[in-house]
């Protein structure tokens, strides 16, 4: 009985020590700056990789304009580059007034991230419907319409908050981001899953065909997971002050969140889709080639 009491006390002490460690780092200005600078460096690295890949594609097929592949890599460069700058000046961003400016700088890259990967869903949908001899004329207008609606709603909420700060509207804004993320996750599950199953029906004798199947499966899994995690975290962010990502004193949470939902997914997808298009005969982005 005494041994049991000692074990419980030891566990409680370790838990308390862990909590203190978490609290000490979150409350340290030095560690806040270090973690935010680490995030800036990681985002900068991903942005550089996307830019290098964009340049390589342009050098390979200079005769073509802005193909879907080039737009995808450019948007990756833009999103990660802006994130890097925001985290370099994270402390200055926190001091901006009115407060809505802080939300815009922190949330606008998230909207651009959604657009970047929605572009991938669009292309997969085109591939799937073309293979089934179904018209794809309405897909691109739908893509632009969905993005226009998302941006219009979010900008409208920002403008209202600029005019008058309403706490409930801040919660609605975060829940809107959660809904958009869930929509993107379901898009990857629907069209990535359909394309994967369609490819499975074809013979898989060649190494190239197996690689195409693996690429679609990996990218679908990565993107579905990252947008689902973003959705869940934004729900916690909206209602739990302890999960607030918009404050300086939650650097560890920021590090975990942005690693899981943006840095690692972007890095993995860029690596999986690193293959350059052939010099001739390609006019658009094809993630399974």
88 within 8 A of 38, measured Cβ to Cβ:
no
The whole-number pLDDT of residue 212 equals 81
CA dist., res. 260 & res. 105, Å (int): 20
| 179-225 tens-digit pLDDT | 999 999 999 999 999 988 888 877 656 666 678 888 999 999 999 99
Contact 27, 247 (CB under 8 A): no
- Does residue 11 lie within any of the structural domains? no
Kindly state whether residue 7 falls inside one of the protein's structural domains: no
User: Which contiguous run of DSSP H or E holds residue 218?
Assistant: helix 207-239
Cα–Cα distance measured from residue 134 to residue 213, given in angstroms and rounded to the nearest whole number: 22
pLDDT, tens digit (0-9, with 9 covering 90-100), for 139-157: 999 999 999 999 999 999 9
Mean pLDDT, residues 231-252 taken together: 84
Give the per-residue pLDDT at 95: 85
| Within-domain flag for 289 | no
Residue 190 lies in a domain: yes
Mean pLDDT of the chain: 85
- In a domain? residue 6: no
CATH number at residue 101: 1.20.1070.10
Average pLDDT over residues 108-127: 93
In a domain, 1, yes or no: no
- 6: pLDDT confidence band, cut at 50, 70 and 90? very low
* 3 falls within a domain: no
How many domains are there within the chain?
1
pLDDT for 287 equals: 45
14: in domain: no
Whether 191 and 121 have beta carbons less than 8 Å apart is answered as yes
**What is the reported pLDDT for 289?**
43
Show the tokens assigned to 199: 């490819």
* Single pTM value for the model: 0.85
| Domain range enclosing 134 | 23-273
Place of tokens 């806040």: 32
For the stretch 259-280, what's the b/e string if a residue is b when 16 or more beta carbons lie within 10 angstroms of its beta carbon?
Answer: eebbbbbbbbbbebbeeebeee
């Amino acid at each position: 009985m005494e041994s049991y009491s000692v074990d419980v006390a030891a566990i409680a002490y370790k838990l308390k020590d862990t909590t203190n460690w978490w609290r000490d780092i979150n409350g340290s200005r030095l560690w806040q700056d270090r973690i935010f600078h680490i995030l800036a460096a990681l985002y900068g690295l991903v942005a550089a990789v996307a830019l290098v890949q964009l340049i390589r594609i342009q050098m390979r097929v200079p005769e073509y304009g802005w193909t879907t592949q080039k737009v995808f890599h450019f948007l990756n460069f833009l999103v990660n580059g802006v994130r890097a700058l925001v985290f370099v000046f994270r402390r200055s961003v926190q001091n901006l007034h009115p407060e809505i400016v802080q939300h815009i700088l922190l949330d606008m890259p998230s909207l651009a991230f959604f657009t970047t990967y929605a572009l991938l869903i669009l292309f997969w949908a085109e591939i799937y419907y073309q293979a089934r001899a179904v018209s794809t004329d309405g897909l691109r207008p739908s893509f632009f319409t969905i993005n226009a609606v998302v941006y219009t709603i979010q900008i409208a909420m920002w403008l209202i908050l600029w005019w008058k700060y309403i706490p409930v509207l801040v919660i609605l804004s975060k829940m809107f981001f959660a809904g958009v993320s869930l929509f993107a996750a379901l898009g990857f599950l629907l069209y990535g899953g359909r394309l994967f199953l369609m490819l499975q029906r074809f013979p898989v004798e060649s190494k190239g065909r197996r690689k195409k199947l693996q690429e679609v499966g990996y990218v679908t899994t990565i993107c579905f997971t990252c947008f689902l995690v973003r959705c869940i975290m934004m729900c916690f962010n909206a209602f739990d002050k302890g999960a607030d990502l918009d404050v300086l004193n939650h650097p560890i949470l920021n590090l975990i969140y942005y690693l899981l939902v943006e840095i690692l997914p972007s890095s993995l997808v860029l690596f999986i889709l690193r293959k350059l298009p052939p010099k001739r005969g390609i006019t658009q982005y094809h993630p399974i080639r």
